Structure 1
Amino acid sequence: MSTSIDIPPRADARIRLGLVVLLLPTVLLFLAMTVLFLATPHIAADLNPTGGQLLWINDVYGFVMAGFLVTMGTLGDRIGRRRLLLAGAALFGVASVAAAYAPGPEVLIAARALMGLGASAVMPATLSLLTVMFRDERQRATAIGLWAASVSAGVALGPLVGGLLLEALWWGASMLIGVPVMFLVLVAVPFLVPEYRAPNAGRLEPLSVLLSLAALLPFVYGVKKLAEEGVATAPTIALVAGIVFGVVFVRRQLRLDDPLLDMRLFRDRVFSGSLSVFLLVAVALGGVYLLFTQYLQLVAEQSPMRAGLWILPAAIGLVIVSTVTPAIARRVRPAYVMAAGMALSTLGYLMLTRVEGADGLPLLVAAFYVLYPGIAPTMALVPGLVIGSAPPEKAGAASAVNTTASDLGTALGVALLGSVGTAVYRAGMADTAPDAARTLPGALEAAAEMPGAAGEALALAARTSFTDGLTVAAWVAAALSATAAVLTLTLLRRVPATGSAEIDTGSRTRADEDVPPKDTTDVRTSTEDRAPGEGEPVTP
């Protein structure tokens, strides 16, 4: 027997409670990316992994998650987004227990990989289900803004939560926090969140799935390894292979009647323009964020916990701005709101270029408090623009592409801007430093072993050179942020405010009159006319 979940024109208490339940795993999935940062020494002491295994313990979660997002987003559209959400939540919870009690590094790596696979199923489902639950345009925009804020909250809270659990319990406890959250999802979601399957959904083509993985996994691996090791043969080959398979994937999707990822979505100016802007913003922030956290710990000599506390106010500011942004976008065109935020971020990056040596901590923190909330309008509005410009039956795939752009942008930022900072650092240390000082941690270790003034001089030179690298990277980030602002005003200026009469509530956002509407019926305005299994929200 089945009963329908009626979706009111405006969200009622049950829908709002469903939103809360969906936001909890969203926070958790991104918290899981950073929660082990402080636990790494403890894991090394307990499990005795090799250096390569230790890197994979930290990286494999995000690596697998990014690689499977597109496949899982499309799969959810076809078999049911809620069904995939529940399956991913169960897998994540079981894998979390396995990770917490892993007897060795191999088991921990495998468990973290399964957590990433579960996360790739949950993440696009949480966002795409919001488009079904909220029929009112304003409420939907607010819900998506809260979703974006929960992503940032998870990233920021990871090191703090991990540090607190390390002090109170042991490193495995940071894995177990996912168990009660996913248990709540499994219990509450069937009663609070409607199911959605795309009408007349085709079969999932195995070759397209394999090609997508062959494109994304080597590309992400190559970018990560280039960021860690610099130019090397293996990551370069992986990067090139990913690009080649990506080209093959795109060509195949264009020939299929029912593709895994409909490449025609990118013809929409709002869809492609929003993703391009999001990618630039993520590249700028990803690289600078890495250098910023390293400065806090290695140049300003703050403990990991204190570094997390320095970051926390900026994260709170980002959450607040993400929450109020949808309300502003009801009266002001999204392009103007986003461009204003990017201008603020650009100012923050320019402030970073003035940081000098270890005494620059106050200016560094002030700059971060300016630039970090500045990205909030983009994070809050881009997901809605991306999903709103896609047909409802492809919202899961659009959500996956949105998250993939964020993940790839961050990885590229770490690789590109991190390389810029490293190059400037090595240039500054080329004539005075021993081989051990090719990195800042190496230089500080070497300085600690040197007598008196010589050690102090090496440490000062290393910290000064690293700061120089940070300021050059900040110049690049400022240029990327300014470029993103210009693109926003160029490509997205015709998108009306969400409260404007130009928007027909429940319809997709469109920027250009000359773009023909796609042949589809929006579930938000016609769920009552469909039979179960054809796009109608139903609960078993």
Structure 2
Amino acid sequence: MNTVTTKSSELRAWFGLLVVLGPVLLVAMDGSVLFMAMPAITSALAPTADQSLWILDSYGFAVGSLLIAFGTIGDRYGRKRLLLIGASMFGLGSVGAALATSPELLIGFRVLMGVAGATLLPSALAVLGTLFTEPRRRAQAIGIFAATFAAGFAIGPVVAGQLLSRFWWGSVLLINVPVVLAFLVFAPILLGEVRERGRGRIDVASVLTSAAGLLLAMYSVKHVAAEGISGSTVLVGLVGAVSLGWFARRQGRVENPLIDFTLFGNRVFTIAIITAFLPLAAWSATAYLAATYLQSVLGLSISDAALLAVPGALVLTVAAVLTPAVVARIGRSAALISAHFSIAAGLLLLLPTGTGAGVGWYLAATAVAGVGYGISFSVVADIAVAAVPPERAGSAAALAETGNELGNALGIALFGSLAAVMFRLNGPDLAPTLGETLHLPAVTAAALVDARTAFVDALHVVAATAAVLHAVLGTVAIRVLRRPVVVTEPTPVLA
């Protein structure tokens, strides 16, 4: 009877994981699904250049600024409850965004989707600690979770490309609705409510300052990178920095802090959180630029460009799934280090691409870098959950997910702005972007050649810069992690 009960509980846990993975896949996909859709959105809604950036960035900004707050709220008041509320909001936001008739409406609904995404990610990862109480099974589940999250980012442009070749641009957002409905039906059945007990109320001041500080700081960095320094932008950035500084100091004084900063005393954890940021920044920027390169420079159709992203997505997904087994053999430190150098090597393979050919180099680059991306996603998630007791897993998971989302949000703003500057310096000086130059009336053939060449050069600068940053961080990790560091597996405790 005990054996039957154990098998039944294990089967229920795996079904619970399957249900949780639906929203996780959607939240990750929606960080990248609009990369391929932006030309169609531009044609339909005619956003300004600044509105176009906000259409891409507002989702990631909302998720990144609220993850810490919602990670703790889920711990205190119930992860399943927050998952159900977040999924409902995500579905409504998706429908609204798909049917938006103006850039302002689209941006507004993308913000709503971002708020919902911030409620989903920390609780979805933290709930694995309660579904899987045995460390080995939990590690497998976290690996699958990480692979799903990674695959969502990777396949977003692929799915969008296939839908855009058949339907209007809103279809890339409406595909969220069936998954959300399925989650709302099965989650109440398969997921038990788990919350942290024995603690006082949430510190509202910490919640507000963490969210406001992150949002204002990201807004300031984005506008400085994209439009240059101005008095108002600097002021906003200073307010954000002061808010974050006050928040950090307050966490050491309040009884129930949102973030346990003592976690950063673990060297592997610290490098892992940095690793959560940089790979997503590099990936989001190069994926967006590569989509433009394949379509506007090499002249490929949307569907063909999307299919070329499939091999890299598959490599990334497989790498994330296999990472727990690799970590068991070589350790987390070696895995983190290898991830950075793999990404650096893959990014450097973009340098031989040109205006006449480059598909082979693009495929090689996404495959090699995909190994590093998959490892980084899986290791970060593993450490975030394994380093803390289960009742604090939501808060720790929020740190890792915040790094991911900040990287995704700021990657386009920072690296994309670098590409824009290089294009303006080297291009024909007819329009600020390649897309606008290609659509100018009576533009000469020579100007088109110059524009495409300038864009490719800008892509190379971004790839080289990101590669150098990864190589530097990998070198730092070798020095910091040269001594073995053991992350203690916590004893699972259900509330």
Task: Note whether the superposition's TM-score is higher than 0.5.
Answer: yes
Deviations 1:201-239, CA, capped at 9 Å, x for gaps: 221222112111221111222333345435455544433
Q: Structure 2 CA distance, aligned partners of 1:440 and 1:98?
A: 30
Distance 1:414 1:42, change over 3 A: closer
Q: Identify which of 430, 434, 456 aligns with 1:467.
A: 456
Tell me the equivalent position of 1:143.
Answer: 141
Distance 1:261 1:102, change over 3 A: same
Q: Structure 2 CA distance, aligned partners of 1:189 and 1:247?
A: 38
Q: Identify which of 345, 348, 351 aligns with 1:350.
A: 348
Q: Identify which of 430, 433, 443 aligns with 2:437.
A: 443
The residue type paired with residue 208 of structure 1 is S
- The answer to whether 1:415 aligns with 2:408 is no
The residue type paired with residue 416 of structure 2 is G
Q: 1:324 offset after TM fit, Å?
A: 1.2
Q: 1:62 offset after TM fit, Å?
A: 2.2
Q: Structure 1 CA distance, aligned partners of 2:314 and 2:196?
A: 37
Tell me the equivalent position of 1:118.
Answer: 116
SS in 1 for 2:365: helix
Tell me the equivalent position of 1:512.
Answer: none
Which residues of structure 2 form unaligned runs of 5+? none
- The answer to whether 1:487 aligns with 2:480 is no
SS in 1 for 2:330: coil
Sequence identity of aligned pairs in percent? 37
SS in 2 for 1:200: coil
Q: Structure 1 CA distance, aligned partners of 2:12 and 2:469?
A: 42
> Contact (CA 8 Å) 1:334, 1:495: kept in 2 or not?
no
SS in 2 for 1:293: helix
Distance 1:241 1:195, change over 3 A: same
Q: Structure 1 CA distance, aligned partners of 2:143 and 2:481?
A: 18
SS in 2 for 1:449: coil
Q: Structure 2 CA distance, aligned partners of 1:268 and 1:9?
A: 36
Deviations 1:235-256, CA, capped at 9 Å, x for gaps: 4443333222111111122221
> Contact (CA 8 Å) 2:32, 2:284: kept in 1 or not?
no
The residue type paired with residue 444 of structure 1 is L
Distance 1:381 1:477, change over 3 A: same
Distance 1:227 1:306, change over 3 A: farther
Q: Structure 2 CA distance, aligned partners of 1:99 and 1:421?
A: 28
> Contact (CA 8 Å) 1:30, 1:151: kept in 2 or not?
yes
Tell me the equivalent position of 1:538.
Answer: none
> Contact (CA 8 Å) 1:351, 1:363: kept in 2 or not?
yes
Q: Structure 2 CA distance, aligned partners of 1:279 and 1:10?
A: 39
Q: Identify which of 305, 309, 312 aligns with 1:311.
A: 309
Q: Structure 2 CA distance, aligned partners of 1:245 and 1:393?
A: 27
Q: Structure 2 CA distance, aligned partners of 1:503 and 1:160?
A: 37
SS in 2 for 1:426: helix
Distance 1:40 1:295, change over 3 A: closer
- Give the stretch that moved more between structures: 99-108 or 256-265: 99-108
Q: Identify which of 434, 446, 467 aligns with 1:457.
A: 446
Q: 1:481 offset after TM fit, Å?
A: 1.5
Distance 1:402 1:503, change over 3 A: closer
Paired residues for 1:179-198 under 5 Å? 179-198=177-196
Paired residues for 1:245-256 under 5 Å? 245-256=243-254
Q: 1:331 offset after TM fit, Å?
A: 1.9
The residue type paired with residue 207 of structure 1 is A
Q: 1:494 offset after TM fit, Å?
A: 5.2
Tell me the equivalent position of 2:227.
Answer: 229
Q: Identify which of 257, 262, 267 aligns with 2:255.
A: 257
> Contact (CA 8 Å) 2:94, 2:173: kept in 1 or not?
yes
Q: 1:39 offset after TM fit, Å?
A: 4.3
* Higher-Rg member (1/2): 1
> Contact (CA 8 Å) 2:164, 2:302: kept in 1 or not?
no
- Give the stretch that moved more between structures: 41-50 or 195-204: 41-50
Q: Structure 2 CA distance, aligned partners of 1:106 and 1:411?
A: 19
The residue type paired with residue 144 of structure 2 is L
What TM-score do you get using the length of structure 1 for normalisation? 0.82
Tell me the equivalent position of 2:65.
Answer: 67
Q: Structure 1 CA distance, aligned partners of 2:40 and 2:422?
A: 32
Tell me the equivalent position of 1:209.
Answer: 207
Q: 1:317 offset after TM fit, Å?
A: 1.0
Tell me the equivalent position of 2:298.
Answer: 300
Q: 1:180 offset after TM fit, Å?
A: 2.1
Q: 1:275 offset after TM fit, Å?
A: 0.7
Which residues of structure 1 form unaligned runs of 5+? 1-5, 497-501, 509-521, 528-534, 536-540
Q: Structure 1 CA distance, aligned partners of 2:183 and 2:481?
A: 36
Tell me the equivalent position of 1:516.
Answer: none
RMSD: 2.9
Tell me the equivalent position of 1:94.
Answer: 92
